Structure 1
């Protein structure tokens, strides 16, 4: 694929992620993705012959990688687990606030809309969450409860994002950051 094709594909993925975060799977149509990306209509099926589900699945996986990269950068600057998780929450809070409270978790809206009856999208969401759990678990090395703590911390982060979005306030994120700090101390 040439550079122009790769750029078109990336625009489609970025537009899909943006729209899915704000409107969910069922609130986002291919016409919206085409309009938001500026891509020609035929590009969707050229780059994503599996249609909307393939496009959404790859968009979820891309969003997961972007968050993993942000976590890796935070891990380099925040040596202790509690500080690391606080940094993740600040990053997500900044992203949420800067988006006008539309961009919470890039996976949650798709998971909520599709996990019960769309196996490929459920798998994509599950894989992303598993990779985030692994990144958290890596920061908890040496603790006997690292597996349980990684799941607990991820659940607290996801819940805090939902509440922050609903309240249009960073308060839930700040509260969870403080409590995770206590939990990890």
Structure 2
């Protein structure tokens, strides 16, 4: 793995754990075992540029994973059930769901720049697009699919945050039982 990718991977984990404001530049340098000059070589605009790169990387990973799950199942209901079960298993195995949540970053959005807000919005829109496409394939009209996809995104992201705050997979387990049942059968 090249230095820039390693910086992005390590920094992504730090931002997810502590939020953007909670992670100092020195902590990033120490965790990545690099100099300040090396960081600025790869990210000339500093920590904010690094965060945007981390969000773009998360966008790629998360949307690819969701798309893979949704492609494997014939209906949105089955795909949603499978995705929530995967998130639950990840939480039970690791005690966290770092690969899927960026709420700690988004919660600081008021203190962050417009480019960071746009990077976060892009990830949410990509997730919603995957859900909406599957719902339309199930026969839901576009408007209803878009509204349902928004509700799914909010419910799943909220479920992840509740798991993290409660240190329990219970919220996702409940969501796994309830959310798919709100979706139209094909």
TM > 0.5 fold call: yes
**When the two structures are superposed, what TM-score results if normalisation uses the length of structure 1?**
0.89
Residue number in structure 1 paired with 2:135: 140
Q: Show structure 1 runs of 5+ residues with no match.
A: 1-5
Distance 1:37 1:90, change over 3 A: farther
Distance 1:165 1:52, change over 3 A: same
- Hey, what's the Cα distance between the residues in 1 that align with 2:78 and 2:97? 26
Residue number in structure 2 paired with 1:33: 28
Deviation sequence 1:71-114 (CA, Å, 0-9, x none): 12212322221121122222333333444336274321111112
Deviation sequence 1:146-171 (CA, Å, 0-9, x none): 00000000000011011111111111
User: Does the 8 Å CA contact 1:95/1:103 hold for their aligned counterparts?
Assistant: no
Residue number in structure 2 paired with 1:124: 119
Where has structure 1 moved over 6 Å in runs of 4 or more?
none
**When the two structures are superposed, what TM-score results if normalisation uses the length of structure 2?**
0.89
Residue number in structure 1 paired with 2:102: 107
Residue number in structure 1 paired with 2:149: 150
- Hey, what's the Cα distance between the residues in 2 that align with 1:97 and 1:50? 38
- Hey, what's the Cα distance between the residues in 1 that align with 2:82 and 2:54? 24
- Hey, what's the Cα distance between the residues in 2 that align with 1:89 and 1:33? 31
User: Does the 8 Å CA contact 1:17/1:59 hold for their aligned counterparts?
Assistant: yes
- Hey, what's the Cα distance between the residues in 1 that align with 2:102 and 2:36? 25
User: Does the 8 Å CA contact 1:74/1:88 hold for their aligned counterparts?
Assistant: yes
Distance 1:96 1:17, change over 3 A: farther
- Hey, what's the Cα distance between the residues in 1 that align with 2:88 and 2:135? 22
Deviation sequence 1:9-34 (CA, Å, 0-9, x none): 00110011100111011111121122
The answer on 1:70 being equivalent to 2:65 is: yes
Distance 1:135 1:102, change over 3 A: closer
Q: How many aligned positions are there?
A: 180
- Hey, what's the Cα distance between the residues in 2 that align with 1:183 and 1:12? 41
Deviation sequence 1:24-59 (CA, Å, 0-9, x none): 111111211222222333121111111111100110
Secondary structure class of the residue paired with 1:101: coil
User: Does the 8 Å CA contact 1:116/1:122 hold for their aligned counterparts?
Assistant: no
Q: Show structure 2 runs of 5+ residues with no match.
A: none
Secondary structure class of the residue paired with 1:24: helix
- Hey, what's the Cα distance between the residues in 1 that align with 2:80 and 2:43? 35
